Amino acid sequence: MSWYGILRGDAIIDYKSPVNGIIDSLNCTLGVDQDNTEIFKITSIDGVYKKEILELKINKARDEYKKYKNDYMNANQAFNEGLIAKNELGDISRKMRDAIINLKEIESEIETFNHINNLSKPYIKGRFVCQDVFVSKNSYVNSGDLIMRIEMIDRYRVEIKYDPVTTNLKNRNIRYRSLVNNSTGNAKLIATKNLKDNSNMGGLKSAIIELEHSGGLYPELLDTAFEITLYD
């Protein structure tokens, strides 16, 4: 019993710009097998200035916190010695708490800034193929613009449609064959799901078949037809 499907990698990922900025680098060659690479880098238009502002704000906030912390320690000692009233100690305590809140808020801003900065220069771990590039080097992009589409190929998969009433794919021997170069090998079922569409395929299921890499699989075979065969 055989089915036919199209070879895919294990994931297709669209990358969009997280900022308004300039494309500094593009390290993604269409159709070429790559791995462990920074695929692009965007320099934010206002990123340099924002970083400087955040550094000034965090230094000021730290100084204020240290000041109010010292003020509180001195005031607490003075209160214990009966030199100041309780409400005066409370005022200084509130100022210290406000300084802590301000410091935490700025630290959160810095974390967000650093996260966006990392998104502006994504590093891909694993093997992948660049499917599309929608921008060019030194071009200007807006936040949300599509930069590129990659397909991860650490694993190769084929999706087939089958009738679960007549066919049980679980715990069965599965083989694959490329209709392009006739490469063959073992495969395994990794997932099934019900089909919900308007194509009169009620009752059919979709199965994701993962192919064991035996040397005959390579990126040029993506989007080509494969035969999936079930053996008893």
Verify that 182 and 205 share a domain, yes or no. Answer: yes
Do 101 and 146 lie in one domain? The reply is no
- Please give the pLDDT value at position 199: 57
Residue 127's Cβ-count burial label (10 Å; 0-12, 13-18, 19+) is: middle
Give the containing element (helix H, strand E) for 95. Answer: helix 86-119
Q: Render pLDDT for 18-68 as a digit per residue (tens, 0 to 9).
A: 999 999 999 988 888 899 999 999 999 888 889 999 999 999 999 999 999
- Residues in the chain predicted with pLDDT less than 50, given as ranges, are none
pTM for the predicted model, two decimal places? 0.78
Crossing angle (nearest 10°) for helices 47-80 and 86-119: 160
| Domain containing residue 215 | 2-9+156-231
DSSP 197: S
Q: Are residues 223 and 204 located together in one domain of the fold? A: yes
Domains in the chain, number: 3
Q: Is 209 helix (H, G, I), strand (E, B) or coil?
A: strand
pLDDT of residue 137: 95
The H or E element that residue 60 is part of is helix 47-80
20, 131: one domain:
yes
Say whether both 169 and 215 belong to one domain: yes
**Same domain, residue pair 132 and 169:** no
Q: Are residues 109 and 224 in the same domain?
A: no
